[in-house]
Amino acid sequence: MATYESLIKITGAVGDLVFYNLNGKNVVRKKSGFNKTAFKKSPSYEKVRQNSSEFGHCSKIGKIIRNTLNLYIKEAGDPLLYQKFAKVMTTIKDLDMISERGKRTVENGLMTEEGRKLLREFQLGTIPNILDCIRIENHILYKNDDCIADRAVIATIKLNSENYSTEYAEEIISWNQRQRPFKKYFSENDLLLYFIVLKNDHDEITRMGFV
């Protein structure tokens, strides 16, 4: 990109050059070599198209999950959280060994134990992860003795990656028992994510994360 001075003000394309005004200055640049038609149809762009499709999918899935949990995630205080979460979505997507390249999904990645583990290990900002504190089995929440909190919020997310939508339900329980059953809101045949938030008596979040 370069600026130019001329008595004649040119706007538009002339040969391989494009003339336009940017912030009050006359600017000229060469036309991009990118061809939209070739990108859509040329075999040489096939891998690029596949990567682009999967990247868009991971970004959308990450966004709908974050938006669903925004009430709690915004407390993480991490301005780059959306980038980090999109990255872990991409890593989980790579675990999809069922679909062909270009059509791999986060949902299939989460069907694997390694995919679930990556999600459980993801820490939101500086708030301590809940991974070493509690676990869930058969709709029973178990807590460790050294895990201190006054109450827990159990958020259940039903993820629909095909329509890029979620359904959400949450239950607040007291934290005075080592184990505690919680409600079933959706069918176990659905893809469900469980997100736990621990709070103290000042309503401050002490730990949170996926389980």
Q: In this structure, are 141 and 44 located in the same domain?
A: yes
Q: In this structure, are 17 and 61 located in the same domain?
A: no
Q: In this structure, are 201 and 124 located in the same domain?
A: yes
Q: In this structure, are 73 and 112 located in the same domain?
A: yes
CB 150 within 8 A of CB 102: no
Q: In this structure, are 77 and 18 located in the same domain?
A: no
- Phi, psi for residue 116 in degrees, rounded to 5: -65, -40
Q: In this structure, are 17 and 92 located in the same domain?
A: no
Count of beta carbons in the 10 Å neighbourhood of residue 57: 21
Which amino acid makes up residue 202?
H
Residue 130 class from Cβ within 10 Å (0-12 exposed, 13-18 middle, 19+ buried)? buried
Q: Domain tally for the chain? A: 2
Structural domain of 12: 1-33
pLDDT tens series, the chain, 211 aa: 555 555 566 666 676 677 776 766 777 776 665 556 655 666 666 788 888 899 999 999 999 999 999 999 999 889 899 999 999 999 999 999 999 999 999 999 999 999 999 999 999 998 999 988 888 888 888 888 778 788 899 999 999 988 899 999 999 988 777 888 899 999 988 899 999 999 998 999 999 999 9
Report the alpha-carbon angle 189-195-199, nearest 5.
Answer: 150
Q: In this structure, are 10 and 54 located in the same domain?
A: no
Q: In this structure, are 45 and 5 located in the same domain?
A: no
Q: Answer whether 0.85 is exceeded by the pTM.
A: no
